[in-house]
Structure 1
Amino acid sequence: MTNLWDYRPTARPGVGLDLVGFDVEATDGKIGSVDEETTEVGSAHIVVDTGFWIFGKHVVLPAGTIQRIDPQERKVYVVLTKDQIKDSPEYDKDKHRGDANYRTELGEYYRGQNIAI
């Protein structure tokens, strides 16, 4: 089993590839675009701006939820549905990087979605 906070072997961004601005595709359609990313081992994730789809909500998606990245199409494909993303915990810009409890809450939510990591 892969760590939820590490990229899958099939989804690692190439050296120097910046995912900011890439479209994000759930299993059932586009959900927004990458607003921020981190590739830190053990805490890698993207922050997605869902735009008007769910009233400007931002969500944190752990790197382990990314199925693949298509640099030519500038798309990130995740293993989650739109509803799973919509129902995810509220994004907290002040906590998402350094708060262990917030990261634990996010991890518990995504692990509970029965996705293959």
Structure 2
Amino acid sequence: MTNTPSSQRTDWNISLLGGLKRRGPGRMPADTVVLTPVGGADLDLSDAEIAPVTSVTKISIAGGVRLRVPADVTVEVEGFSLIGGRRVEPGTPGPSGRVVRVRNYSVFGGVSVTRG
């Protein structure tokens, strides 16, 4: 059995109703998957330790992604939402070169990215 650091593992969040809420300091897994019929992902990564490339994948019928990242992190958004938009506050990429990739697949729910 190999001991994989939490920054390199996939964090699966599966629920019937409800989503994922994460705030505060700590290490963000390199890959996070949120799978729920109804629920979104509310992630505040402004104080978190972020890997050079971090991905968040959210799959649901209803629910979007609300993400807060440091100003120097590049954010890439892709996916599909029948009803819901994308709003990404511009940032200034820093020397760290950190990237957060957001993949949102839903019928109702968009992506909102703020910086702080």
Per the shorter chain, which TM-score range?
under 0.3
What TM-score do you get using the length of structure 1 for normalisation? 0.24
Q: Look at both structures and tell me which one has the larger radius of gyration over its CA atoms.
A: 2
Q: Which has the higher helix share?
A: 1
